[in-house]
Amino acid sequence: MAQLPGLLKGLGITFGTMMRTFKNGSNTVQYPHEKEAPPVRARGVIALHQDNCTSCMLCSRSCPDWCIYIEAHKELAPPRREGGKPRQVNLLDRFDIDYALCMYCGICVDVCPFDALFWSPEYEYSEPNITDMLHDKTKLSEWMETVPEAPALEVGADKKKK
């Protein structure tokens, strides 16, 4: 009997919450049928800008889950100016991210010195088979279209080129 006042107090709090929910409506969104817009700059999936990637492997080496797979080869490119030496450039052969392993920490995005990786707000990319969660560079590049523009740091500053 000594526990009865505590029990009644708990039931009163629960009843009050229930009445507020009936009065104000539910905050729960029935996800597949109703969709809310994600917040600005939300972390969904990692998008790749292939032209900026130099195959430096920093993202792959800094990933704690080792879920980024990169393969590249070197080729000679024509000199930048007449009479110059041909230069070596890294060409990206493979850039895959295994989202079955990824924990979405964002270290790869932060460590990339050439702005090749970005957070996309796209969050509906599930697959029925876990082996299909390995996305290649073409799929990662498609998500680049969903990456929002970064806000300008200063008034009148030029927008960052993708």
- Domain segments of the chain as ranges: 45-146
Query: CA-to-CA distance for 140 and 108, rounded, in angstroms?
Result: 14
CB 130 within 8 A of CB 60: no
Residue 34, C-beta contacts closer than 8 angstroms, at least 6 positions apart: none
Q: What pLDDT does 31 receive? A: 82
| Lookup: tokens for 127 | 């697959």
Mean pLDDT of 19-46: 84
Q: Check residue 51 and give its pLDDT.
A: 93
Q: How far apart are CA 140 and CA 46, in angstroms?
A: 7
Does residue 13 have a pLDDT over 90?
yes
What does the pLDDT look like over 81-128, one tens digit per residue?
A: 888 888 898 999 999 999 999 999 999 999 999 999 999 988 888 889
* Residues 6 or more apart whose Cβ sits within 8 Å of residue 21: none
**Statement: residue 26 has pLDDT above 80:** no
- Give the pLDDT band (50/70/90) at residue 134: very high
37, 90 in Cβ contact below 8 A? no
Task: Tell me the CB-side half-sphere exposure of residue 43, using CA atoms within 13 A.
Answer: 10
Asked if the model's pLDDT at residue 154 lies above 70, the reply is: yes
What 3-state DSSP class applies to 111? helix
The single residue listed with the structure tokens 């990206």 is 92
Q: Is the pTM of this model over 0.75?
A: no
pLDDT value for 68: 97
Q: What is the DSSP string of 137-153?
A: HHHHHHGGGGPPPPPPS
| Residue 157 pLDDT exceeds 80 | no
CATH class of domain segment(s) 45-146 = alpha beta
Classify the phi-psi angles of 4: left when phi > 0, otherwise alpha if psi is within -120 to 50, otherwise beta: alpha
Whether the pLDDT of residue 162 is over 70: the answer is no
Which token pair is 54? 């130099």
* pLDDT at 115 (0 to 100): 93
Segment 9-29 mean pLDDT: 88
Q: How do residues 41-82 score in pLDDT, each as one tens digit?
A: 788 899 999 999 999 999 999 999 999 999 999 999 888 888
The DSSP result for 72-91, as a single string, is: EEEEEE--SSTTPPPEEEEE
